[in-house]
Structure 1
């Protein structure tokens, strides 16, 4: 039996969203329906419907064609302030509800994110997105999940490339380990604090590299 159209559309939307958040699709990049149909092995209708949904969510825009939306109109600090508020609250909620299965999945992702000189930045972005998405899943708050998704998009839409050194990557991954320890212990206050510090650390690296 053929799957309902709305289910296919939802899957296509999720895949395109993931590609945007992982910087596989970059701000300003044109999105060609035929190309997406080939890449995602999907029909024209679900691709078009998914693009319309993503337009409504602010992730893409339709000008002379579809393109990934940028975040140039937003002050950088406002993006990080929003991330601090949302990710710290998400971590607090997750600490009260997280399961051993999700903790084990987070641990596996941390090991994969450890710098080894061979992991491409694109792959690291994808793993990092998956790590934080799992924490959002553990928080089990669909409204907060929508806010988290939007702030993640604004962050990845920053147009200035910032290359993290291996030392910085190890430091941020150590924060991932500390956050996981707080989540395993169901320590809501500590998880909230570490999540906030984690975003602040990223801001301290990214903000000075951006044009003023």
Structure 2
């Protein structure tokens, strides 16, 4: 059965989304090779949409071609560029969220922070997971899908660094205070303050990572 052009595009979009999710979640890890035939079989898709999906992932910087398709891996020296990108994207996204987010969505952010407070006593991995959710949700509330896409790319590149960064208790407490301040700025619809606090929050994390790299 011959697929229409629109049908192929839809399949390519679906393949792209599935591969992208697997890469960003590290189900498919940095350095892993992506074999077109294997993807066709795994996702029940033809060669054309699979190739289109891989080309799109290449354009996003998530995969590269080196005698085949390979999942990208960020070098530690790129960490400043990654954090600078986060400051630009998340800072302005938070400003837009102040203008565009419905009140109930902002209150959902408070629930995430409350869950982080509870998780801190039991699971560092759960704190990390909720932290990612908080930041991603704020970006989503900007209403700009391109910001969401770029944010996911910087998150992938950050975790690909595989830096041995373990935040101390006082650093976690300071981060929690910064989260609360950002949330309060969102609640008050203070875009200037929300953007500034978000940039400062990410800059703090960048300094901690820089200190770890200097000690290596």
| TM-score category of the 2 structures, normalised to the smaller one | 0.7 to 0.9
The answer as to 2:215 corresponding to 1:207 is: no
- For 1:116, the equivalent position in structure 2 comes to 120
1:9-40 CA-partner distances (Å, limit 9, x unpaired): 445534443444444544323446688789xx
- Structure 1 residue 97, shift from structure 2 partner: 0.9
The structure 1 residue matched to 2:165, chosen from 151, 162, 165, is: 162
Cα distance, 1:93–1:73 mapped onto 2, change above 3 Å: same
Task: Output the aligned Cα RMSD.
Answer: 3.2
Equivalent pair of 1:27/1:159 in contact (CA under 8 Å): no
Cα distance, 1:66–1:145 mapped onto 2, change above 3 Å: same
Bigger-Rg structure (1/2): 2
Equivalent pair of 1:91/1:135 in contact (CA under 8 Å): yes
- Structure 1 residue 51, shift from structure 2 partner: 3.4
Equivalent pair of 2:63/2:70 in contact (CA under 8 Å): yes
- The normalised TM-score by structure 2 is 0.76
Count of residues in Structure 1 that have an aligned counterpart in Structure 2: 208
Q: Which moved more, 1:54-63 or 1:90-99?
A: 54-63
Where in structure 2 are the equivalents of 1:88-167 lying within 5 Å? 88-114=91-117, 115-119=119-123, 121=125, 123-167=126-170
Cα distance, 1:151–1:9 mapped onto 2, change above 3 Å: same
Select the structure with the greater relative contact order (CA < 8 A; seq sep ≥ 6). 1
- The normalised TM-score by structure 1 is 0.77
Where in structure 2 are the equivalents of 1:180-199 lying within 5 Å? 180-199=183-202
Q: Unmatched 5+ residue regions in structure 1?
A: none
Equivalent pair of 2:120/2:127 in contact (CA under 8 Å): no
1:176-197 CA-partner distances (Å, limit 9, x unpaired): 2221111111110110111011
Cα distance, 1:54–1:185 mapped onto 2, change above 3 Å: same
Cα distance, 1:116–1:8 mapped onto 2, change above 3 Å: farther
Equivalent pair of 1:13/1:51 in contact (CA under 8 Å): yes
Equivalent pair of 1:70/1:158 in contact (CA under 8 Å): yes
- Structure 1 residue 59, shift from structure 2 partner: 0.8
